[in-house]
Structure 1
């Protein structure tokens, strides 16, 4: 019997057509980005089309905007719409009114929403579940059903035609309380118990321990409240009559006349109106996504 060498035995065990360890290996193509970006990039561009069209229209002349078919690109940069808007004597006042109303609404929702959310998350009292359900049920009631009672309440308080009529109904929203409650539930209780052992009260625990850990949720509430209040038109249209109390959205409607509308000014005004909201969302985007993710971990 002839002895078989180890090398020959190894070669006989290697499948036909396969290459040895020293042979060339096939490398996989690695993209510098996720494959999902190939789908998300066109979708994001699709959603950005209205904003791009708004920006391009704001630097067109009225003749180009009213032309049919509509011009897709301005023949030349025309800043007449921006000049008309910024030259309006009431525009700075409208901008300041919107900023005041939105800032107060954001601050009050952060404070009152945090207090209410922490109470529902950590404190158990008689009827707390029922009260939470009733509060959440108000989120499904359309504004058209509540605007007349709200108007009557504001009239009784003497706030009609003042900024107070816009601020008071927005002091706290059920969504802010619910979102912060969900985020507080995701935080470990051990941190709060350690603070209680050190002699902290519930309010000190909330402000010194819980809220510093809840910056993503607070950023989300701030951005969404600012966006909702800044863009609101229906309620200011009902509660405000004098042009000195107009918000920015309500003031922009004065650029649209019954027989003639200066569309370049309308587009320029909308660009100026959208810019603060867009910047606020871009700065808080990371915290916004983190908050939505964490607040759904525990119910």
Structure 2
């Protein structure tokens, strides 16, 4: 009995620590929601200060002529990007994990090296390039650079590499082509990793601020995150109003995470199929 009690104590302590860290991580979100119901003059008062609450900020946000344009622009951008990214990344990941071709190692090394280049260093070249091909001020300046993100190539390549070789040998004995093996074996087995890639992609693109801010100039074409800066007053930014917009902007991310949570945990906690 004594040994059993001693074994339970670390688990309880660990659970308490995790609960405390979880509450602390939620505190900024709670602050954002609370302040979003305040008047502009009460924005910087302590979080538990007794101040009057109002729905005016949410009414102003929803009453903005462009708010639903920003929302729809962002949804279209995210969905198109994820579809194109999976269409490019899944075949490439299969090729790098299961096929041998000339220059494979060099190409992989070059792709990995691109991750070491900060995105900020390519802002000016990208702006000039998009200007030359007449893509500025459109959602394609956000979509196209995101299609071939190397991180997701690495994620799916790692998973595909862990699929047992016996599956491939059995499929090839049956005369299956590489395309059929990818579609009927690897994709059905990679639900957790694909869901993780979709969730990460959704969050990163949805929260992208700097790219649409620099490359999209027309207000009605803007995406939701940088568009929140337009909720300003003559004296400067209206913090509660911007936080009201941010609270509404984060709703799709929360919903997607709830829906994909079990796949996300499985995809992050394991690198492939065991056994």
2-structure distance, mates of 1:119, 1:39: 43
> Which of 212, 215, 218 lines up with 2:191 in the alignment?
215
Q: Which residue of 2 aligns with 1:99?
A: 75
Structure 2 residue matching 1:284: 3-state secondary structure: helix
Q: Which residue of 2 aligns with 1:51?
A: 29
2-structure distance, mates of 1:271, 1:245: 21
Answer whether contact 1:159 1:165 (CA < 8 A) is retained: yes
1-structure distance, mates of 2:49, 2:102: 63
Q: Which residue of 2 aligns with 1:192?
A: 168
> Which of 132, 137, 152 lines up with 1:161 in the alignment?
137
Structure 1 residue matching 2:26: 3-state secondary structure: helix
* Larger Rg belongs to: 1
Could you give the per-residue CA deviations for residues 114-146 of structure 1, whole angstroms, max 9, x where no partner exists?
A: 111111000111111111111011111101111
Q: Which residue of 2 aligns with 1:3?
A: none
For residue 32 of structure 1, report the CA deviation from its aligned partner: 11
Answer whether contact 2:160 2:272 (CA < 8 A) is retained: no
| TM-score (ref. length: structure 2) | 0.91
Gaps (5+ residues) in structure 1? 1-24
Answer yes or no: is 1:83 the counterpart of 2:59: yes
For residue 258 of structure 1, report the CA deviation from its aligned partner: 6.3
2-structure distance, mates of 1:217, 1:171: 17
- Higher mean alpha-carbon deviation, 180-189 vs 69-78, is at 69-78
For residue 198 of structure 1, report the CA deviation from its aligned partner: 2.3
> Which of 208, 230, 245 lines up with 1:269 in the alignment?
245
For residue 288 of structure 1, report the CA deviation from its aligned partner: 1.7
- Higher mean alpha-carbon deviation, 36-45 vs 150-159, is at 150-159
Structure 1 residue matching 2:27: 3-state secondary structure: helix
| TM-score (ref. length: structure 1) | 0.84
> Which of 89, 92, 106 lines up with 1:130 in the alignment?
106
2-structure distance, mates of 1:210, 1:189: 11
Gaps (5+ residues) in structure 2? none
Aligned length: 272
Q: For the structure 1 residues 85 and 32, does the alpha-carbon distance in structure 2 shift closer, same or farther, using more than 3 Å as the test?
A: farther
Alpha carbon RMSD of aligned pairs, Å? 2.3
Answer whether contact 1:180 1:218 (CA < 8 A) is retained: yes
Could you give the per-residue CA deviations for residues 33-77 of structure 1, whole angstroms, max 9, x where no partner exists?
A: 9422111111111111101111111112222214xx434256343
**Greater percentage in helix:** 2
Q: For the structure 1 residues 49 and 26, does the alpha-carbon distance in structure 2 shift closer, same or farther, using more than 3 Å as the test?
A: closer
1-structure distance, mates of 2:83, 2:40: 40
Counterparts of 1:5-154 in structure 2 under 5 Å? Answer: 29=5, 34-35=11-12, 36-66=14-44, 69-73=45-49, 75-154=51-130
